[in-house]
Amino acid sequence: MSGKFRRYFLKAKEAKNLLEKSLEKLRTSLEQILKGKVDVEVVETEFAEIFFIDRKPLLAKIGEKVFPTLVFDDFLALASRVVVDMGAVPHVCNGANIMAPGIRRFEGEFRKDDFVLVVDEKYGKSLARCYLISVMQGGLSRALLSRMFILSATRYGIS
């Protein structure tokens, strides 16, 4: 990967504001996830800002969208889920949108623009992280999820 990274720590007040706004968007409270004062380091890259919270890459931001990373286990355990059938797994892994025929069930509460996990029905393995872009009046069986953004810190050589 070419280009330079810019790394710096946020001041305590900036870190608190960032975490509150990010976790509010993810519909999770700060107290549920983080205990006490935390250090937040920002790594600015060509494609995203990555936020290291207590030396772990837990959040990423592209534009105005905030995503938990693959290593943010505390959040992922609390996140709502869309369970897809095994036939949808290879398509989801290749970046396809998720539509009604491949959805088996929903776990948790959902609203438009919510962040959700997509998991397979057999093992419950997380396949993707998505934002819910549409919920039809007829219920969630016609939900449509946006394309996925999956961030792995090791994939981009950031650790």
Closest C-alpha among 142, 145, 137 to residue 96: 145
Residue 157 lies in a domain: no
* pLDDT attached to residue 30: 64
pLDDT of residue 133: 64
User: Is residue 84 a part of any domain in this protein?
Assistant: yes
CATH of the domain at 22: 3.10.450.120
| H-state helical runs in 73-122 | 73-78, 89-93
What CA–CA distance (Å, rounded) separates 55 from 123? 30
Question: Which pTM does this prediction carry?
Answer: 0.69
Residues of the chain scoring pLDDT < 50:
1, 137-159
**Domain endpoint, select from 71, 102, 124:** 71
134: in domain:
yes
Strands 115-120 and 80-84: parallel
Number of domains observed in the structure of the chain:
2
Domain that holds residue 55: 6-71
Cα dihedral value 56, 130, 66, 149, nearest 10: 70
Domain assignment present for residue 155? The answer is no
- Rounded to the nearest integer, the mean pLDDT of the chain is 76
In a domain, 13, yes or no: yes
The answer to whether residues 16 and 33 belong to one domain is yes
54 with 94, same domain: the answer is no
Single residue among 71, 97, 128 that ends a domain in this structure:
71
| Residue 113, C-beta contacts closer than 8 angstroms, at least 6 positions apart | 131, 132, 133
What CATH number corresponds to the domain at position 96? 2.30.130.10
Per-residue pLDDT of 27-62, as tens digits, reads: 777 666 777 778 899 999 988 899 998 899 988 888
Cβ neighbour number for residue 63 with a 10 Å cutoff: 7
Inside any domain, residue 119: yes
In a shared domain, residues 12 and 48: yes
Q: Is residue 51 part of a domain?
A: yes
